[in-house]
Chain A
Amino acid sequence: MSGNKEKNGNQKQEAYQATRGTLGKVLRYIRRYWFFVALSILCAAVTVALTLYVPILTGDAIDYIIDKGLVDFDPVLSIVKKIVVVVLLTAVSQWLMNVSNNRIAYHVIHDIRREAFHKIEILPLKYIDGHSYGEVVSRVIADVDQFSDGLLMGFTQLFTGVITILGTLLFMISLNGKITLVVVLVTPVSLFVAAFIAKKTYSMFKLQSETRGEQTALIDEMIGNQKVVQAFGQEDEVLERFDEINGRLEKCSLKAIFFSSTTNPATRFVNSLVYTGVGLTGAISAISGGITVGQLSCFLSYANQYTKPFNEISGVVTELQNALACAARIFELIEEEPQIPESQNAVVLKDVDGTVALKDVYFSYTPKQKLIRDFNLSVKPGQRVAIVGPTGCGKTTVINLLMRFYDVNSGSIKVSGTDIREATRASLRTSFGMVLQETWLAAGTIRENLTMGKPDASEEEIVAAAKAAHAHSFIKRLPQGYDTVIGEEGGSLSQGQKQLLCIARVMLCLPPMLILDEATSSIDTRTELKIQNAFAKMMEGRTSFIVAHRLSTIQTADIILVMKDGNIIEQGNHETLLAKGGFYSNLYNSQFAQ
């Protein structure tokens, strides 16, 4: 038991330190806006002080308004004037405070978001491949958003809240110590009540979010496959299942929401007790002349103002904790190790002739699983390299290395005689034209997508490339032709059409080397045949790496790399490999013969 406790303690300690660490980082971002922070704190202090001053003035005024014929108009008038001035000042400083808080919060998250995005652009592919998109996106969007809400709320409410509590206490003590004591003694009760309810409702909320998760999973599965549901007329059955969960959700939501909503009435009740306490002690001491009636009225309004921040702060603290947790998740992303930065004297590859040499290359994604071992390959300008092997054998690994999406563990890859680690990434990558199996198009017009590699392409060039890729005819049929906006990830285009666009994109910029990874997998055989000619023309004089399943491509390749389980097991041309009678000849015989 005690060990357990210790462990808990340690965990708490760790969590505490992590929170402090995050807080420190947040403060570093905020530091840039120190001027506004100072302004905000100053304004908060001024606002609170002035806000608290008004009841005193009001109280004073009331003390001059005693009874019929006992009203001293001159001081009342001057007090009223004072109130007007104070109120205007308060409003101005309150507005300034709000605006500075907005500025701090929104600029801080602007900076954080910018940095997060910047990090995404330089993260190694390994990280991006290893994390789901949704997770990263939710860090950049949802977490940052939540953080900004928390930050803003923290600034506005926590600052003013704390200053208000302290200020009221100070003013109250200066007026009358005894009554202040009553207030101080009763208020914590409302905090206890709030904490008690929060603790009790925690499990109810947990059940609610679990049920909600269950329901979302069903919605996701069924709405995601709506067409199948309809095709089999399963609407009623699915709705029945949905309703069952929906019913459970209703029950537990009702519980959770009701019990958590008792916080406000409960604390309000405690507050009314405070108010009554002040009224009682105040009235009694007023009789004995301890305070004036005006002071009592002042106290009463303090009692109201003093208890309010307590309610808010308990809310703010949870909000802030939440915000910090979100911030921690964002910082995790921002602090992720970036890809190895380019050295100062990185070479810009120019006039690439197409020589590619891999020497003693070792590579694996994880240290545990060795993949490519002692791989040597020498490709002369204009040669065709075919990469073959069963599905999932890691053909794309070679592409990952050539494009330097991943770095070799040891050995070297040289393009045109330059080690690719000594060249700039941009110049290396733009030397390759790449068409992948998974087609990706940016949200934007067709034209924007085609000119990605060559922004200054002329209309004729664009159309020529599209025609060569046999994309022109379907582009023309789209509502706005080349200026049709395609949604995120190609939206309404078919897989095959998207692939044609990707091919046209490369045909337009025509870099010295090509990488074609199952570039025609989604295109029907007839169109493919037509494109082959364009491909053949494009490959002429260009070193090309082709992940292929078509026999004709493989047979005519200068070098065939045979891969299995992530390893290059054979290398040679069609004849030598067949003669060898190894894996390739087996593969060839099983797949292409009869």
Chain B
Amino acid sequence: MKKLLSFLKDYKKESILAPLFKMLEALFELFVPLVMKKIIDVGIANGDRSYIVRMCLLMVALGVIGLICSLTAQFFAAKAAVGCSTKLRHALFAHIQGLTYSEIDDLGTSTMITRMTSDINQVQSGVNMVLRLFMRSPFIVFGAMIMAFTIDVKAALIFVVTIPVLSVIVFGIMMITMPLFKKVQKGLDRVLGKTRENLTGVRVIRAFAKEEEEIAEFGEENTALTKLQMRVGRISALTNPLTYIVVNLSIAALIWVGALRVDAGIITQGAVIALVNYMSQILVELVKLANLIVTITKALACAGRIEKVFGIKPGMTYGDVAGYEKKKAALREGGAGIVPKGEQEKTAKEPGRMANGSEGSRGMEDVSPVYAVEFKNVGLTYRGAGAESLSGLNFKVKPGETVGIIGGTGSGKTSLINLIPRYYDATEGEVLVDGINVKDYPMEALRDKVGMVMQKAVLFKGTIRQNLQWGRKDATDEEMFEALEIAQAKEFVDTKDGKLSAPITQGGKNLSGGQKQRLTIARALVRKPEILVLDDSASALDYATDAKLRRALREMREKLTVFIVSQRAASIMHADQIVVLDDGHVAGIGRHEELLANCDVYQEIYYSQFKKEEGKEA
């Protein structure tokens, strides 16, 4: 709640003025019974028609002023509510963007989308309502009491008893129903889940002839939900009758006390009517409040859900720029690393880095060459997982090398490469890029170094150009075409109307799988990274294009360190180094020939794919 309230801070003026004007409106409303009392006690008693007319005009005037106050209040309330939710939406969106992969996995996309949309909308109407009514209602209630005191202290004591009883009823019921409402929501979620499951799994459910069981299970969930709803309903249904009883019993008491006081000549007949009117006003306010409780309860629940997202702190902190620069300098001066073979190429790559703008990262090649990527005894356990997904990984990659990563389903290939741009943190050991632990990099610096092409080819609505600009904002058309050419995508982009300006629909649905993959590769290349990671991203390409792509990458002017993850032995067999993974362990590292000679797992993989060729030849 605190977090949400902080968003209202920027609308302090509005959040104060809205209830204030609401109270003013209520105040003028509270005068009405007094005026009526005057009409009865003075106007009717004296038969003074002109007095009555004057008083009625006063009432109209009160109405007009009330209307103006009320409109002002509505405006400020709307402004505060809308403004606050706009800020909230911005903050939540920014917060979600700052979350790391682990948290995104935990939360799930669909939850985040509902929280961004419908939950915030609920909060908005909740804030609006609270500003408008939560202040008004207590004000009327207490105001009515105070007005009663001005009429007659003894009679007003009835109000003093009534109001606490009423608040106990209203808030008590609210407290009881609030957790129940949450349960109802959960029940609804279960019914929804069951329905969805039966649609997505229709073939399997029917194949196993499970319809009757599914209907029975749904019936149970459905009945449970209805029972819950009935329970909440029964309790909330008490609000109105109970408040009605209390208020009207108080009216009865007022009449009796009023009778005594009038008889004693302390108050007038009109005063009794005014007192009764005030009590009625309280009832009307309470009924409104009771109807609002559902809205407020919902808004609170939604606020809680949003709060929870805010509560998730990104599980990573990034190195600060100064510290990173210092480490780099230290490496440059003292770091006596092994001189890798690829030093030549690395120097050749110099201009590319310049373009990248990562100042200072250049100096180091002159003095102390380091490994482009190094895994030191790395292990990874995903949050909530029972066992390690990766363990004991040790390998070094020299700048400019091509590394193939191969292994079975779930052997940890993607997990491994996700550690390089630090999408996840290694839970054991350390990952070094250019000799510096990835945890010490400022996020920008690390992401600039690594170009990532993911398994799932994701493109965004817009033009081809806009999509490529994701790689680098200020990339020229020339640079884009260069990237497209390497990614083997130039050919088909050229055939599109408008070429770089050709539209891409949401999710890239107007492109084939292979085209999408090639564009995502080009997108990563536009960024001119030092390290390029291809996570099974040529799976939709035929062998010939795949081979051409690899050749183009090898022949690039500024030589990249390339990681290729693949299921195809053919895609990685020419790599400088092949890492064979099996169940999260390294089963072998080396060149193709070495592995084929000594690594069982590699042999199995290789022969499972190349047997085909034997079969064909037979």
Contacts and interface: CB of A to CB of B under 8 A. Distances in A.
B192 interface: yes
Given A95-B237, A265-B74, A83 B251 contact: yes
A276 B56 contact: yes
A184 interface: no
Interface in A206-230: 212, 215-217, 219-221, 223-230
Interface of B is mostly: helix
Q: Which 4 A-B pairs have the closest CB atoms?
A: A496-B409, A68-B265, A98-B237, A102-B233
B472 to A, nearest CB: 9
B407 interface: yes
B53 A280 contact: yes
15 contacts: A87-B244, A106-B229, A117-B194, A121-B214, A140-B195, A219-B93, A221-B507, A232-B447, A250-B83, A272-B63, A405-B206, A426-B211, A479-B385, A524-B411, A524-B605
Given A262-B71, A436-B204, A526 B604 contact: yes
- Range, interface on chain B: 35 or more
B310 interface: no
Interface string B250-283: 0110011011101111001110110011001000
B293 to A, nearest CB: 14
A269 B74 CA distance: 14
Interface string B37-50: 00110011001010
A171 B111 CA distance: 54
Given A67-B262, A76-B256, A220-B113, A106 B609 contact: no
A403 B423 contact: no
Contacts of B105: 492
Contact of B44 (A90, A95, A287, A443): A287
B188 A453 contact: no
Given A88-B245, A110-B225, 18 more contacts: A62-B276, A98-B240, A106-B229, A145-B188, A231-B452, A239-B94, A250-B86, A254-B83, A258-B78, A265-B66, A266-B67, A287-B47, A301-B277, A405-B203, A425-B206, A432-B207, A484-B386, A488-B197
A198 interface: no
Nearest to A233: B447
B264 A224 contact: no
Contacts of A364: none
Contacts of A173: none
A485 to B, nearest CB: 12
Give the interface centre of B40, B215, B265 by most chain A CB atoms within 10 Å: B40
Contacts of B154: none
A192 interface: no
Contacts of B270: 293
B49 A287 contact: yes
B435 to A, nearest CB: 22
A247 B89 CA distance: 11
A431 to B, nearest CB: 10
A141 B198 contact: no
B66 A269 contact: yes
A114 interface: yes
Contacts of A90: 241, 244, 248
Given A65-B269, A137-B195, A526 B608 contact: yes
B49 A284 contact: yes
Nearest to A296: B40
B199 A133 contact: yes
B473 interface: yes
B259 A71 contact: yes
A501 to B, nearest CB: 11
Given A80-B255, A226-B97, A242-B90, A113 B202 contact: no
B125 to A, nearest CB: 8
Given A133-B200, A279-B36, A592-B616, A102 B237 contact: yes
Interface in A85-124: 87-88, 90-92, 94-95, 98-99, 102-103, 106-107, 109-110, 113-114, 117-118, 120-122
A300 interface: yes
Interface residues of A, number: 150
Given A121-B214, A250-B82, A592-B612, A102 B199 contact: no
Contacts of A136: 195, 199
Contacts, number: 408
B313 interface: no
A68 B263 contact: yes
B396 interface: no
Interface stretch (B333-341, B350-358, B454-462, B495-503): B454-462
B71 A265 contact: yes
A204 B339 CA distance: 68
A551 B615 CA distance: 8
Contact of A219 (B85, B116, B523): B116
A66 interface: yes
Given A80-B255, A551-B612, A223 B262 contact: no
B186 to A, nearest CB: 13
Contacts of B199: 120, 128, 133, 136-137
A510 to B, nearest CB: 13
B101 interface: yes
Contacts of B113: 216, 219-220, 223-224
A237 B473 contact: yes
Nearest to A123: B202
Contacts of B134: none
Nearest to A454: B208
A355 interface: no
A573 interface: no
Given A71-B259, A221-B460, A283-B52, A228 B454 contact: yes
A525 B605 contact: yes
B77 A261 contact: yes
Contacts of B284: 304, 308
A120 B198 contact: yes
